Structure 1
Amino acid sequence: MATSEPEGRFAVRRQVHEDRVVVWLQGEIDLMVADRLLSELHAAVEQSPEIEVDLAEVTFLDSTGIRALLNAHAAALRLGHRIYVTNASGIVMQVLEVTGVDSLLTADPRDRRPQGR
């Protein structure tokens, strides 16, 4: 398991499972942590054909966080991999809905077929 220490208001933990990598995010995702988030997501995309990004403990998500998610999604597609978010709620879910990212990156976790295949 790869773990990153909290950076103020943000923490990320990545764990490899048999069928996917799960990236747990916690706290506020903004310009201050967007590069770190993107780096973690790209590492996950390289590790597994399926990446679940758990947003249950994310309390804030701005456009730089959305851009990091979309960038990781594009990288996953280039490799024939799949990335999706789970457990978004409240303001985080509203941001995903308003930007249209919810329909692109949310998926039924029981559906394990990679996108683009």
Structure 2
Amino acid sequence: MSADRVVVTVTGEVDMSTADAMYQAATKDNTSAATLDLREVTFFDSAAIHALLQLADRFGEGLVVHPSAQVRRVLEISGLSTQPWLKER
């Protein structure tokens, strides 16, 4: 993590019981940018999408998301697969 960017690595399921924890981890310490490593996420629901969109609103161009195949599929179905913050690694 640099002084202005937080890197959050998420594994397992992101759902209504864990999405807020992902959001909180990415927004701690008043950082101005965030990288979400979601390559080990196995389930991603609408609460997770909502948290992700909140992070996109907060960080704008400062957000980078590295998705797993499952996350990419959910974002494709949701019409979010062309967002500039979505990156392959």
TM-score interval w.r.t. the shorter chain? 0.7 to 0.9
- 1:8-47 to 2 correspondence within 5 Å? 16-17=1-2, 20-43=5-28, 46-47=30-31
Match status 1:51 vs 2:42: no
Residue 66 (structure 1) shift: 0.6
> Unmatched 5+ residue regions in structure 2?
none
SS state at 2:34 partner = strand
TM-score in terms of structure 2 length = 0.80
Would you identify which runs of 4 or more consecutive aligned residues in structure 1 move more than 6 Å?
none
Residue 52 (structure 1) shift: 1.3
Query: Larger C-alpha radius of gyration, 1 or 2?
Result: 1
Higher relative contact order (CA 8 A, sep 6+): 2
The Cα RMSD (Å) is 2.2
> Unmatched 5+ residue regions in structure 1?
1-15, 110-117
Give the aligned partner of residue 58 of structure 2: 75
Match status 1:97 vs 2:82: no
